[in-house]
Amino acid sequence: MTSAAALIRLAGVTKSYGQGQASFLALNGVDMSIAAGEFVAIMGPSGSGKSTVMNILGCLDTPSSGTYEFEGVHVEELTRKQRALLRRHYLGFVFQGFNLLARTTALENVELPLIYRGEPAGKRHAAARAALAQVGLNGWETHTPGELSGGQQQRVAIARAIVTNPEVLLADEPTGNLDTATSREIMELLTMLNRDRGITVLMVTHESEMAAYARRIVRFVDGRVASDNGGERAS
């Protein structure tokens, strides 16, 4: 894959925290290109830099040095407001802890990103219902998170992430709070969204069984890319 074909490209990205003797280099010269439509699992031990690189890719943090290009735009040069707009219009997020509003229905939770966009109520309702149906929750629109299982809550979170039709879905340990059977259901759902809707999926996980659903596995060690199978899955 050439850099011209890349949806995302990191070049020489570093990230350090703190100063002096208390400084910590979380990323140490990361080079990585991701094409549109890929499903990439990012793995590595605790402190390897995988969550830091995910935060940079999600425009939640910025590199200390190096470049981050998204569709040819240098993200590291954007203002905070411009990065927020990029997140709002191009990225969707799924977290280990679901991050749903407890007293709010599934439908209202899914509508939230559209409220931030200023979409009219009718359009929000229709889009949220369609997203819930796509993740298998047709008929559960009026239930609050407390009335849903863990797997159903994560499905609501995924519906919220895709309701804006993002180009990229960033999933941070999306099965970390789920049992094995439910984890497989969630991974099959992410695989379907990648295959059928063409959404680029970037997933941080420490579970090899979940990473096996991805077509490409990138392993981080000590803030660097230690290995990258480049989409060549083992037979």
Q: Is the pLDDT of residue 21 over 80?
A: no
With respect to residue 183, please indicate whether it lies within any of the assigned structural domains. Answer: yes
Check pLDDT > 90 for residue 19. no
Residue 2 reports pLDDT greater than 60: no
Length of the chain: 235
Do the domain assignments include residue 80? yes
pLDDT in the model for residue 12: 97
What's 104's domain CATH number? Answer: 3.40.50.300
> In this structure, what token pair is assigned to residue 162?
């895709």
Which token pair is 11?
A: 């070049």
Higher pLDDT pick, 23 / 76: 76
pLDDT tens-place string over residues 30-57? 999 999 999 999 999 999 999 999 999 9
Does 24 fall in a domain?
A: yes
Residue 233 lies in a domain: no
Share of the chain above pLDDT 70, in %: 96
Domain count across the chain: 1
- pLDDT at residue 5 in the model: 66
CA proximity to 116, closest of 69, 57, 160: 160
Residue 113 lies in a domain: yes
Percent of the chain residues topping a pLDDT of 90: 85
**Residue 115 falls inside a structural domain:** yes
The answer to pTM > 0.75 is yes
Per the structure, the complete domain to which residue 70 belongs is given by 3-228
What is the residue-averaged pLDDT of the chain?
A: 92
Residue 27 lies in a domain: yes
> How far is CA 107 from its chain centroid?
21
Q: Which residues of 109-124 are buried (b: 16+ CB within 10 A; e: fewer)?
A: bbbbbbeeeebeeeeb
The pLDDT of residue 231: 61
- Which of 186, 234, 191, 197 has the alpha carbon at shortest distance from 214? 191
In the structure encoding, which two tokens stand for residue 219, read together?
């392993």
Res. 119: pLDDT tops 80: yes
Q: 196-235, pLDDT tens digit by residue?
A: 999 999 999 999 999 999 999 999 999 999 999 886 544 3
Average of per-residue pLDDT across 96-125 = 92
Reported as a pLDDT band with limits 50, 70 and 90, residue 98 is: confident
Domain-located, residue 234: no
